[in-house]
Amino acid sequence: MPLPTVILPGYLESAIAYRQLEQSLLELGFPTVTVPLRRRDWIPTLGGRPVTPILQQLDLTVKQTLQEHNAAQINLIGHSAGGWISRIYMGEKPYFPSGNVQPPIWKAYPLVATLITLGTPHISQERWTRRNLDFVANNYPGAFYQNVRYVCVAGKTIFGARRRGSWLAYSSYQLTCGIGNTWGDGITPIAAAHLEGAENLIIEGVNHSPRSPGIWYGSPEPLKVWVQHLI
| The amino acid at 187 | I
Counting every residue written for the chain, the total comes to: 231
pLDDT digits (tens, 9 = 90+) for 66-92: 999 999 999 999 999 999 999 999 999
User: So what's the pLDDT on residue 231?
Assistant: 86
pLDDT digits (tens, 9 = 90+) for 156-204: 999 999 888 788 999 999 999 999 999 999 999 999 999 999 999 999 9
Domains and CATH numbers, the chain: 5-154+187-229 (3.40.50.1820)
Q: For the whole model, what pTM was predicted? A: 0.96
pLDDT digits (tens, 9 = 90+) for 111-166: 999 999 999 999 999 888 999 999 999 999 999 999 999 999 999 999 999 888 78
For residues 112 and 223, what is the distance between their CA atoms, to the nearest angstrom? 20
Q: Let me know the angle formed at the C-alpha of 182 by 117 and 127, rounded to the nearest 5 degrees.
A: 65
For residues 181 and 161, what is the distance between their CA atoms, to the nearest angstrom? 6
